[in-house]
Structure 1
Amino acid sequence: MTLLAVERMKLLTTRSPWWCAALALALTIGFAALMAATADARVPVTVGASQFGYTFGMVVVMVMAALAITTEYRFGTMRATFLAAPNRTPVLFAKTAVVALVAGVIGEVAAFGSWGITKLLAPNADLALQTPYEWRAVAGVGLVYAVAAVLAVGVGALVRQSAGAISILLIWSFLVESLVQLIPRVGDDIHRWLPFTMADKLITGDPDPSGRDVVYGPPPSDAALGPWPALLYFAGVAALVFAAAVVTTNRRDA
């Protein structure tokens, strides 16, 4: 409990997590407001469309998670932490738990905030949360953000440099997984098993029941697994990266 309290204070008493949280909320809710404001009878707004900006918020949350550990290496506070708590594994687990919890809360606030602003701007739209798809599209965002934060902490602990860790996370999520599809014959098959494609399955795994064109909302994921198995797959990838970070951190100097 002491380590958790320490990590909570270190995270919440610095400015960057608050700025990242504000930016993540602004992006996701702002995109939802834009989708609602541009909707019409031909292109109705839906629950799925209200979460159009969730991936942008997820990237900001991963930046926050990576900075939570890389800045400690940059300013040397990680060395002091390891001197106070020589067993490094519980330190990493405590930091990751706190960051993941904060990321999950940001995700839920962003998702329900996006849904709420959509209902406010489009009061006549059918935005009831009734089907499993609709509940996953909103409530599932916090789960995806939490797992993504664990992955980002793992990458940050492995790289130990803010610019490097953030670059890896951004390039992988925005470029690599899309460019893989350009590989002849096997590109699409590989893409269906990539981690962020799997994460997207929980939110957009089923077709939008309104039949809304994908141009006006998040396209359905083509992941090879169902929504919940896909989330477990994404969590497994995050766990492997985090485990590698724990082993590496215990073997090298602080």
Structure 2
Amino acid sequence: MTPPAAPQAHEHPQPEPAPGVLGYYESPIPIRRATLGDAIASEWTKIRSVRSTMWTLGVMIVLMVAIGLMSALLVTAADGDLDGVPVVSLGFFGVLLGSICVITLGVLTIGSEYSTGMIRTTLTACPSRARVLTAKAIVFSLVTFVITTVTATVVAACQTVILGGGVDPGEVWLRVTVGVGLYMAGLGLVSLAVGAIVRHSAGAITIMIAVVLLPLVLALFMFADSLRGLQRFLFEYSIPNQLAGLYGTGVTETSPSGWEPLLVIVGTAAVAMGAAFLALEQRDV
């Protein structure tokens, strides 16, 4: 009878299971590659579970509703005439103040992770930085769009009832509801991109507030004739005037109107997000 061959020097015999153990553990959970859907689910859990989302969006809703209704009530009490301006245009003032809340939440969506160090855990769980930023952009923009559109629709309906001026054309309603929701989502994406580039919440919020207000402030002090062209450009393409253009109440006759402000903010958001992707890929955490 031939004895069994001895194991070769390079072969390592497998260790025997410990007494009482039937074998090696094998997880019943199937192992698969992470997807964008997984990243979106993770970001949705984050954005709905932090207090900043509730406070910022809650304040935005209160501002839009309260200022929109107060404007309509004041016009009614004063027996004012809107001179052909759409009734729903009074919702502009609440949306303008509400945009500060959207800017804040957009920055905090990524800036808070840098300030707390949570970004290291996020990128460890999902090493693809582009996937992380894409998931944040999708979740944040959808949340902002839905809440802003619903709130703007409620405000427009209430203003129409209070002022009793008849129903404005369908295109006007579409711009001041869906259009405003898309514009605010685009503005929020610009804030998200700035937060990803600056990586400091307070600094990024300050930059975005300056982007909103500084063009108008600078334009007010441009008295020289040689600066008239720049002054007009700052007035017409400032964010407040673009929002007013959606409501049909631009500052000048050549101001962006109709759907043009939406195209401007979409292009701006695309450039800002492109810069954010490059910054996130090329820098350490």
Normalized against structure 2, the TM-score is what?
Answer: 0.77
Matching residue of 1:7 = 43
Matching residue of 1:214 = none
Which secondary structure does the structure 2 equivalent of 1:53 belong to? helix
Q: Deviations over 1:60-80 (max 9, x none)?
A: 111111111000001111111
Taking the aligned partners of 2:159 and 2:203, their CA distance within structure 1 comes to 36
Cα pair 1:29 1:117 within 8 Å, conserved: no
- Corresponding letter in the other structure for 2:172: Y
Matching residue of 1:157 = 196
Establish whether residue 243 from structure 1 lines up as the match of residue 274 from structure 2.
yes
Establish whether residue 50 from structure 1 lines up as the match of residue 91 from structure 2.
yes
Q: Deviations over 1:88-117 (max 9, x none)?
A: 001101101100111111211220121233
Taking the aligned partners of 2:44 and 2:62, their CA distance within structure 1 comes to 23
The offset of 1:28, in angstroms, is 0.8
Taking the aligned partners of 2:203 and 2:252, their CA distance within structure 1 comes to 28
Q: Deviations over 1:102-144 (max 9, x none)?
A: 1111211220121233245x1x512514242343123321111
Cα pair 1:104 1:143 within 8 Å, conserved: yes
Flag structure 1 segments of 5+ consecutive residues without an equivalent: 208-218
- Residues 91-240 of structure 1: pairs in structure 2 closer than 5 A: 91-120=132-161, 122=162, 125-183=164-222, 184-191=227-234, 194=237, 196=239, 199-200=242-243, 202-204=245-247, 206-207=248-249, 219-220=250-251, 224-240=255-271
Compared with structure 1, are the counterparts of its residues 127 and 176 closer, same or farther at alpha carbon in structure 2 (3 Å cutoff)? same
**Greater gyration radius:** 2
- Residues 16-35 of structure 1: pairs in structure 2 closer than 5 A: 16-35=52-71
Worse overlay, 23-32 or 182-191: 182-191
Taking the aligned partners of 2:103 and 2:190, their CA distance within structure 1 comes to 8
Cα pair 1:16 1:64 within 8 Å, conserved: yes
Give runs of ≥4 in structure 1 deviating > 4 Å.
219-226
Matching residue of 2:7 = none
Cα pair 2:179 2:259 within 8 Å, conserved: no
Which secondary structure does the structure 2 equivalent of 1:115 belong to? helix
- Corresponding letter in the other structure for 1:150: L
Normalized against structure 1, the TM-score is what?
Answer: 0.85
Cα pair 1:48 1:134 within 8 Å, conserved: no
Flag the structure with higher helix content.
1
Cα pair 1:158 1:245 within 8 Å, conserved: yes
Taking the aligned partners of 2:45 and 2:99, their CA distance within structure 1 comes to 23
Compared with structure 1, are the counterparts of its residues 198 and 237 closer, same or farther at alpha carbon in structure 2 (3 Å cutoff)? farther
- Residues 47-86 of structure 1: pairs in structure 2 closer than 5 A: 47-86=88-127
The structure, 1 or 2, with the larger RCO (C-alpha pairs under 8 Å, 6+ apart) is: 1
- Corresponding letter in the other structure for 2:159: T
Taking the aligned partners of 1:73 and 1:99, their CA distance within structure 2 comes to 17
Cα pair 1:197 1:222 within 8 Å, conserved: no
- Corresponding letter in the other structure for 1:191: L
Taking the aligned partners of 2:155 and 2:129, their CA distance within structure 1 comes to 39
